[in-house]
Structure 1
């Protein structure tokens, strides 16, 4: 038998985002999150490797044929340039498998629904796809976004490997566990507390930080179910909170806590306290600095027991510095090597704690320290992160992997990119993916496979209902990447009145 990496490739994608269901209801366009990795899967599995792809979505994609053709045409400069016969061949390798369910339930829940006949049909197709390609000698695998017991069980039933850490290790991705792992890896962290499950214990822990001069804090629900910073709250303590006037500091903190600014605007303080009793909460010193950056490291634990660096990014956060909106690749060279070293050490600790395989991400805060930079561990994501889809898209289009120092270099030319998941405006509502595709394909900003630069769209179905989509702009320097993204916004703004 040939080696696994030499065998034909067949991939099933069920990219279920399995954070709090209540949180998914509040994240704009979250029902379309599973589409984010469609483009990279089509370009990488089908366009580059000539493999078969089954991609499951729910709800159904809008303008599905146009979207598939758009991605399949990227390597050849568009559908026409690719050629009719080549396009027909590639289309035959793709199976888009939809479920007509626009609820905010997890995609895995929709696929495994025991009473929905459409879900039962999808599961039959998954079994048939697996059996057909296994019989043909293909390397068949299941790709999903994060550790998931339901999808682990499905992979086991299908008899194929998944690509994520075992769901039993999900607790390693909590905020408190992240701090413990950082400590074991020798990575510094902001001053903070242990896990607290009631207001009085939290207030006492914060009082000890206040006595040490901490006045600005971030409260974090201790759960991996709250992504995008929406489990956080910002607390500012009065300068006189620890004044020795007979009243205890903890009592002052208890009175101050309801004034914390919740990052999820649809949560009340009472609801936050209820969640705290269920999951626990930690408090950390709010790090200030100018500039204050948020670099991130993405790594993978391989099936051979090693830890591998995958990529680095500088994250783009919302104005509250808590919520992810996009990223730039690679992270700044001034601290990139330090970032990789910290990330690899975290990966080694995860491996020592039993993590066998799969992706993980490590977020940091970067502040100036004299002439250099100081990195502080922020949190560990025991899953793929929001940087995966732009990274895998850029790698597939460029046909390369990062260099040892974390750059994309092709034929002596370096390439960078900027990505956003929140190209959003109420005026975009009503537009269709086909309009977005037409606006960039063949235009000066569309991806050019000869020059290897341009804009690539993702998560397009969300634009019709929510006025939101994403894109990655691949360029030869940061200025060009930013310029491409700005022109994309201008072009879509011109379409908006038609929506």
Structure 2
């Protein structure tokens, strides 16, 4: 029998989050965002695949060696030491390249800085890595988080493919374009408006929603630069607005707009108006059904123009109900198949619009409807999403791919997980990643490869300065995963001095 030959793999990761620099300044610990996919890259590329990894990040990782050894040791049930555990010589397959730059500039900007000697050295390291592994016949790729023209040009210069859709398609992920794509895919959306670029036009548009009976409105900056709901504002209209003469409705809405509740609490309404002039704003009815859930679909467009289902999740949102803080896998069974069907239809429309490769995510609202659920399209992310790293880590650890109905199962045993990027407490400031690693690996909740369950840490460097880190909790059911997350908090609380 002829055996298929798979070339060795080599990956460069530059996980640059290219949203508004102002948003990055206000997201706690966001300068460390590029570290978020380090664990999955090590476990997937090196431990499972035996490939080589060059991981670029900034600012300096805290306890970098301990973090790398931790991830290398996950499949062997302990911290990796000097290549004796896990794949033979695995430590030599991982290279971390760091720029000592803690600014909120995009990582791609730091790497491609034309006047920085350190950036030039990093680019030289990448060139050497690519040339070495291409000569060896490896499949070499540049992995990055979202469409980026600078990183596209870098990949082209290195002579390797990138992993995301072309930056030319970024406008397809704006809020208004997303609504059009949902409609083309046959996915219903909340009632909404066209794009408005000034408060007067917005007041007119919102007045139309008010006359249709909507009193709670969500305003959304029509831009891909404000992820995590940071471009949203919540507007409450008085019930008596419907009784006002038509010509007075717009006036009342106009007076109400400056009192909208901004998700980004560090800007004013005047700031929002300035952003509105630039990117535009759409308004949508706020869906107020109870319960109201926020499931998401993750997909991929392959190089041969097919739509692949990657995963489904239920998102965990912050106090405003607008900002992502974590997720559970998989999405609920009551609407999971509908979620997959709708997400794939969105992918088909993206193909028709010329998007021919890369990852994409689709956020929905799920509201009760009779004995089932109704799904409404919320927004499209033409990039990887915040659900990528826990899913990639879970599948790499378990050595499993999702079933057609979106579950993870190994030898008949099903696994689920809960993940968070925002485990935060001011009391955790001053702790170090090495302390977190030691506490978790020595506890009974640390990941156990024999059973495929337990806690896996990620995004650890921010804990020292910001008291914030992330974790993936893999269990046999939702209650088990949630219990692991609670036990982790209790464990870390016990590390606080004086606890």
TM-score normalised by structure 1 residue count: 0.98
Q: Which residue of 1 is the match for residue 160 of structure 2?
A: 160
1:483-494 equivalence runs, <5 A: 483-494=483-494
In 2, the alpha carbon distance for the partners of 1:95 and 1:323 equals 34
In 2, the alpha carbon distance for the partners of 1:179 and 1:240 equals 30
Q: Which residue of 2 is the match for residue 35 of structure 1?
A: 35
Q: Which residue of 1 is the match for residue 414 of structure 2?
A: 414
In 1, the alpha carbon distance for the partners of 2:188 and 2:231 equals 22
Find runs of 4+ consecutive structure 1 residues off by over 4 angstroms: 2-5, 80-83, 85-88
Q: 1:4 to 1:434 in 2, by over 3 A?
A: farther
Q: Which residue of 1 is the match for residue 432 of structure 2?
A: 432
Quote how far apart the aligned CAs of 1:79 are.
Answer: 2.8
In 2, the alpha carbon distance for the partners of 1:82 and 1:393 equals 22
Asked if 1 retains the 8 angstrom alpha-carbon contact of 2:164 and 2:358, the reply is: yes
Quote how far apart the aligned CAs of 1:497 are.
Answer: 1.5
3-state DSSP of counterpart to 1:313: strand
In 1, the alpha carbon distance for the partners of 2:85 and 2:451 equals 24
Quote how far apart the aligned CAs of 1:83 are.
Answer: 6.5
3-state DSSP of counterpart to 1:438: helix
In 2, the alpha carbon distance for the partners of 1:12 and 1:64 equals 17
Stretches of structure 1 lacking an aligned partner (at least 5 in a row): none
In 2, the alpha carbon distance for the partners of 1:223 and 1:274 equals 13
Q: 1:5 to 1:17 in 2, by over 3 A?
A: farther
1:251-270 equivalence runs, <5 A: 251-270=251-270
Q: Which residue of 1 is the match for residue 361 of structure 2?
A: 361
Q: 1:80 to 1:263 in 2, by over 3 A?
A: closer
Asked if 2 retains the 8 angstrom alpha-carbon contact of 1:19 and 1:226, the reply is: yes
In 2, the alpha carbon distance for the partners of 1:3 and 1:153 equals 36
Question: Which deviations, in whole Å up to 9, do the C-alpha atoms of 1:431-490 show, x marking residues without a partner?
Answer: 000000001113210000000000000000010000000000001011110011100000
Q: Is 1:396 aligned with 2:396?
A: yes
Asked if 1 retains the 8 angstrom alpha-carbon contact of 2:72 and 2:80, the reply is: no
In 2, the alpha carbon distance for the partners of 1:278 and 1:441 equals 49
Q: Is 1:196 aligned with 2:178?
A: no
Q: Which residue of 1 is the match for residue 136 of structure 2?
A: 136
Q: Which residue of 1 is the match for residue 180 of structure 2?
A: 180
3-state DSSP of counterpart to 1:242: helix
3-state DSSP of counterpart to 1:310: strand
Quote how far apart the aligned CAs of 1:181 are.
Answer: 0.2
In 2, the alpha carbon distance for the partners of 1:82 and 1:387 equals 31
Question: Which deviations, in whole Å up to 9, do the C-alpha atoms of 1:339-388 show, x marking residues without a partner?
Answer: 00000000000010000100000000000001010000000001100000
1:466-485 equivalence runs, <5 A: 466-485=466-485
Asked if 2 retains the 8 angstrom alpha-carbon contact of 1:79 and 1:87, the reply is: no
Q: Is 1:444 aligned with 2:467?
A: no
Asked if 2 retains the 8 angstrom alpha-carbon contact of 1:298 and 1:359, the reply is: yes
Q: Which residue of 2 is the match for residue 462 of structure 1?
A: 462
In 2, the alpha carbon distance for the partners of 1:353 and 1:245 equals 43
In 2, the alpha carbon distance for the partners of 1:80 and 1:101 equals 28
Asked if 1 retains the 8 angstrom alpha-carbon contact of 2:73 and 2:79, the reply is: yes
Q: 1:291 to 1:5 in 2, by over 3 A?
A: farther
In 1, the alpha carbon distance for the partners of 2:106 and 2:198 equals 30
3-state DSSP of counterpart to 2:283: strand
In 2, the alpha carbon distance for the partners of 1:116 and 1:39 equals 28
In 1, the alpha carbon distance for the partners of 2:124 and 2:246 equals 70
Q: 1:30 to 1:249 in 2, by over 3 A?
A: same
Q: Which residue of 2 is the match for residue 109 of structure 1?
A: 109
3-state DSSP of counterpart to 2:95: strand
Asked if 2 retains the 8 angstrom alpha-carbon contact of 1:29 and 1:462, the reply is: yes
In 2, the alpha carbon distance for the partners of 1:212 and 1:245 equals 14
3-state DSSP of counterpart to 1:496: coil
Q: 1:92 to 1:83 in 2, by over 3 A?
A: closer
CA RMSD of aligned residues (A): 1.6
Q: Which residue of 2 is the match for residue 304 of structure 1?
A: 304
